[in-house]
Structure 1
Amino acid sequence: MKLNQLFWAAALVTVSFACSDSGDEKPLGKYDNGILIMNEGNFGTNDGEVYHLNPTTEELLPNIFEAENLRPFAGLLEDMILEGDRLYLVANTGKVEIVNPADFKSLGAVASELDQPRSLAVNGTKLFISDYGPYDDNYGTPDSYVAVVNGLDGGVVSKKIEVSNKPEALFSYGNYIIVAGSEENKIEIIDAAQETVVTTLDLEASPKQFHAEGNVLWVYSITSDDVVFYTVNLNSLTLGNTYTIPLADATSRIAFDGDDEMYVLTSTGWPDYNDAVINIDIEGSNATATELMTGSGFYGIGYDHNSDQIYVANSNGFQGNGTVTVLSETGSVVRSFEVGRGPSGFLVY
């Protein structure tokens, strides 16, 4: 799952005890409940980090990777992927750190042979990592790839699978890895056993994020003027419906509430940075967009299924720390608080 990744929220059942593989109950770890806040960090200083929020008590614990491992994260944090009893922290500065989500203690890493990793998916005992690859002289990325690592706790890259430029989100299903090829408007499907692309689906918009509901995969995609949702039938790996919503300047940030409603960010970019939080509601063949909040500096969004609240991250122009504003589903402000540098995503337990 992504925040998926991310920068969208993933909901888990909140309970008092977790079950071990033996069936015995064990107390939850320090970070097993609440919300993880992904702070990207500042380019050059590479000070990305994770905060933990208890939304009930409003207790906020900063820099939990450094606190639990006695070393800084030392990277720009791009994505957080929760898979079973492992949390993968993807840094677009060339590494993946793997921690136990209960206590945030390090379990391993992929610390070499990556260039600009973007996201990650697990298939069997393999890690698949989307990577822009190195920049060429014109800042293009003609050598983008999906890296393969044999081992859930990291290790070395065993293969780099060539894909279209600028792969973003990944989704694992059955024996396949589904890749969002953002620059060339493609969905590429990798056979996880063969470690090769076996199918390509061409789109009219740039795919950014995935969200699965049953045997249907939603593909969040954008153009300069529209938001486009494609559906993929996971049983046949073919395109299904397309929903187009006239909405200019949508960013790659999205949160799903699990009930055919989505929350996205728009931004006019430099020099005005007129930003907005938009609710998109899809019912049947109809889709509507409603503006909930406007401002400047919106950088990430998440949804807390436990409280039905929207979390909006503001980078504050990377001038010092960022802030998070919590909204009700109707857009009213519940509270705001300061977080780390460049907050960009949330993971809700």
Structure 2
Amino acid sequence: MFKATSKLRNSTAIAYAVFALSSCDKNETNPAQPYDDGVIVINSGNFFDNNGSLSLIQRDSKTASFDIFLKENNRSFAGGLTDYAEVDEKGIILVDNSTDGKDAVEIVDAHNFKSIASIKGEIDNPQKAVKAGSNKVYITCWDTFNPDYSYKTGFIAVLDLTANKITKKIPVDKGASSIIVIGTNAYVGNVGGQKTIKVIDTQKDEVTATIEVGANPSNFVLDGSNKIWMTAGKEIVLFNPITKNIETKLKGGTNDKKTPSSLSISKDYKTLFYTNNFYDTADGYKLKGEINSLNIADGTSKVFINRTFESVGFDNESNQIYTTLIPSYKQAGYIFRYQASGALIDSIKTEIGPIGFLFK
């Protein structure tokens, strides 16, 4: 009896050990975590209320998960949000506080959104973040404003994700905004009234060239040939980073009041989508306009969605178009989803001031 029980116990122990080892092997395949996929919505919040947030929309859901940073860290951002990017499995959140000296970079684990580090008081008016090397991020910053609210010389803050600190500030043009990295070069645009882009060697962290392309070059997107489409004043411009020349200049539309912005590109690289808006001073400074599409092959543009939105993005995963609607900066905004054909799918309530997306 004793021997039989011992054998049974030994057999059970062996079976359990095999099961445990098998379970360990399965767990080592990195099971899915809460924020591994979906669409992150960047909500700027109300500037003076400092209540920016990030929402998450799963592609098969009709509702958004609100303030995911608060949910995972039991605290909110102390400011509005201007951008969210992911670099080497870390999330980079740019926080713009209405008080000078209180802007911040929040760093989280991109898989579970748990806080890794907060960097405060080292940047001013951050705009965009982009990967610039291994564990290295470039952040475009406007700097503080002059007393008359004009732009000072902007800069690129170099963020080291190993030490979680700003290691250098590279002076660029006023109103530094859009940035894109191709190989070992970063291309920096601006909204400060200038006509040039800066080229930065990402290995030396130094400006190597200044190139004239048109007024306020911004809203950068890459096409299938690694050329940069951008808005410049009323035009949409194609810039070749190899030759450093403008290849194409196209009108964003026929209405001189409207200005193209929020440029995005279709999955097949054949079509550009963008907002074409203006503020109507005769109607209480109300934003008016539509979403336009531009056929890259023949350069023709047309009204694609005849409704006013603040921004537009193209989701390659679902082949759908996402747009943002801001009724006011004191109430929830909305995300409208469209088929690539322009047919409306649905609308989803989000938080205050949705301005953009990160498609995971």
The 8 Å contact of residues 177 and 191 in structure 1, kept in 2 or not, is answered as: yes
Q: CA deviation at 1:153?
A: 6.1
Q: CA deviation at 1:136?
A: 0.5
One-letter amino acid of the counterpart of residue 159, structure 1? K
- The residue type equivalent to 1:279 in the other structure is S
Picking from 89, 101, 104, the partner of 2:93 is 89
TM-score normalized by structure 1? 0.85
What is the Cα deviation at residue 172 of structure 1?
2.4
- For residues 150 and 167 of structure 2, what CA distance do their matches in structure 1 show? 25
Deviation at 1:41, TM superposition (A): 0.6
| Cα pair 2:182 2:226 within 8 Å, conserved | no
**Which structure has more RCO (C-alpha within 8 Å, separation ≥ 6)?**
1
Q: Distance in 2 between matches of 1:153 and 1:108?
A: 10
Deviation at 1:95, TM superposition (A): 1.5
Name 2:58's counterpart in structure 1. Answer: 54
1:237, 1:63 → 2: CA distance? 44
Report the equivalent of 1:274.
288
8 Å Cα contact 1:100-1:106 kept in structure 2: yes
- Pick the aligned partner of 1:341 from 349, 352, 356: 352
> What is the CA distance between 1:272 and its match in structure 2?
3.9
Q: Is the 8 A contact 1:243 1:287 kept in 2?
A: no
Structure 1's 310 and 338: CA in aligned 2 closer, same or farther, altered over 3 A?
same
Check conservation: 1:29, 1:102, Cα contact below 8 A.
yes
Q: Residues 103-134 of structure 1: CA distance to partner in whole angstroms, max 9, x if unpaired?
A: 11112233222110111223234332111011
Q: Could you tell me which residue of structure 2 aligns to residue 18 of structure 1?
A: none
In the alignment of these two chains, the number of paired residues is: 319
The CA distance in 2 between the partners of 1:189 and 1:282, in whole Å, is 25
Match of 2:5 in 1: none
Aligned residues with identical type, % of pairs? 22
Q: Which amino acid aligns with 1:73?
A: F
| CA RMSD, 1 decimal | 2.1
1:218-229 mapped onto 2 (5 Å cutoff): 218-223=228-233, 226-229=234-237
AA matched with 1:174: G
Structure 2 residue 88 is matched with structure 1 residue 78: no
1:169 aligned onto 2:144: no
Q: 1:17 maps to which residue?
A: none
Establish whether residue 254 from structure 1 lines up as the match of residue 263 from structure 2.
Answer: yes
Aligned residues of 2:63 and 2:349 also touching (Cα < 8 A)? no
Over residues 59-104 of structure 1, what are the superposed CA-to-partner deviations in whole Å (9 max), with x where a residue is unaligned? 4211101100110022211111122311211123322111122111
Q: Which amino acid is 1:113 matched to? A: E
Other-structure match for 2:251: 245
* 1:189–1:60 distance in 2 versus 1, CA, 3 Å: same
Q: Distance in 1 between matches of 2:251 and 2:213?
A: 15
Q: What secondary structure, in the 3-state scheme, does the structure 1 residue paired with 2:106 have? A: strand
Who is 1:30 aligned against?
34
- Per the normalisation by structure 2, the TM-score is 0.82
1:246 Cα offset (Å) = 4.1
User: CA distance change for structure 1 residues 92 and 288 in 2, over 3 Å: closer, same or farther?
Assistant: farther
Letter in 2 for 1:61: S
Among 320, 331, 336, the residue aligned to 1:325: 336
Unaligned runs of 5+ in 2: 1-27, 98-102
Partner Cα distance (1:159, 1:301) in 2: 33
Tell me: CA distance 1:237–1:80, structure 2 relative to 1, closer, same or farther (3 Å): farther
- Structure ranking higher in helix proportion: 2
Written as runs of structure 1 = structure 2, the 5 A alignment for 1:111-260 is: 111-124=120-133, 125-152=135-162, 154-155=164-165, 157-183=166-192, 184-213=194-223, 216-223=226-233, 226-233=234-241, 236=242, 238-247=244-253, 248=256, 249-258=258-267, 259-260=269-270
Amino acid at match of 2:30: K
Distance 1:326 1:265 in 2: 15
Equivalent of 2:324, from 291, 313, 335?
313
Which amino acid in 2 is paired with 1:190? I
Specify every segment of 5 or more residues in structure 1 that has no aligned partner in the other structure, as ranges.
1-23
1:31-69 Cα offsets, whole Å, 9 max, x none, are: 112111111111111111111111213342111011001
Which has the greater radius of gyration?
2
Residues 332/146 of structure 1: CA separation in 2 closer, same or farther (3 Å cut): same
Q: How far does the alpha carbon of each residue in 1:262-321 deviate from its partner, in whole angstroms, 9 at most, with x for none?
A: 2111222142422211111211xx21212122334x222222223222111111022411
Question: Which range moved further: 331-340 or 60-69?
Answer: 331-340
- State the distance in 2 between where 1:182 and 1:218 align: 17
Task: Please report how far the alpha carbon of residue 210 of structure 1 lies from its aligned counterpart in structure 2 after TM superposition.
Answer: 2.2
Name the amino acid aligned to 2:276.
T
Q: Which amino acid aligns with 2:37?
A: N
